[in-house]
């Protein structure tokens, strides 16, 4: 049995890096393949491009060009060169990590 080295991380549009805390199964994330393209995947990371809705453990993650929302929490940026690190918890909490430049 392989062990996931860390929680699942979503790398969305080379801008949003979302760690799904306590998630070990990449197949728990649901999305419409017409809205998102899975460009790469390994044991603990998914690289997605696109805009639309993702579903995880009863939560909705919505991605647009300039913002990402997790249920009612909205994180927005106008900088195209900013990379945002986020932590989403199964109970609905959101923690924002340090942002950096590409």
CA–CA gap between residue 57 and residue 77 (Å, rounded): 26
Which residues face 35 on adjacent strands? none
pLDDT in tens, 39-86: 999 989 999 999 999 999 999 999 998 899 999 999 998 877 788 999
Q: Tokens at residue 40, please?
A: 């790469």
Q: What is the pTM of this model?
A: 0.88
Q: Is 20 helix (H, G, I), strand (E, B) or coil?
A: strand
Query: Regarding beta strands 16-20 and 82-88, do their DSSP bridges make them parallel or antiparallel, or are they unpaired?
Result: parallel
């Amino acid at each position: 049995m392989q062990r996931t080295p860390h929680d699942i991380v979503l790398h969305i549009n080379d801008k949003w890096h979302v760690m799904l805390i306590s998630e070990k199964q990449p197949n728990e994330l649901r999305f419409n393949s017409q809205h998102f393209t899975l460009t790469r995947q390994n044991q603990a990371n998914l690289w997605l491009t696109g805009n639309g809705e993702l579903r995880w453990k009863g939560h909705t993650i919505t991605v647009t060009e300039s913002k990402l929302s997790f249920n009612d929490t909205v994180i927005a940026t106008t900088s195209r060169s900013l990379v945002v690190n986020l932590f989403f918890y199964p109970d609905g909490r959101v923690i924002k990590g340090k942002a950096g430049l590409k």
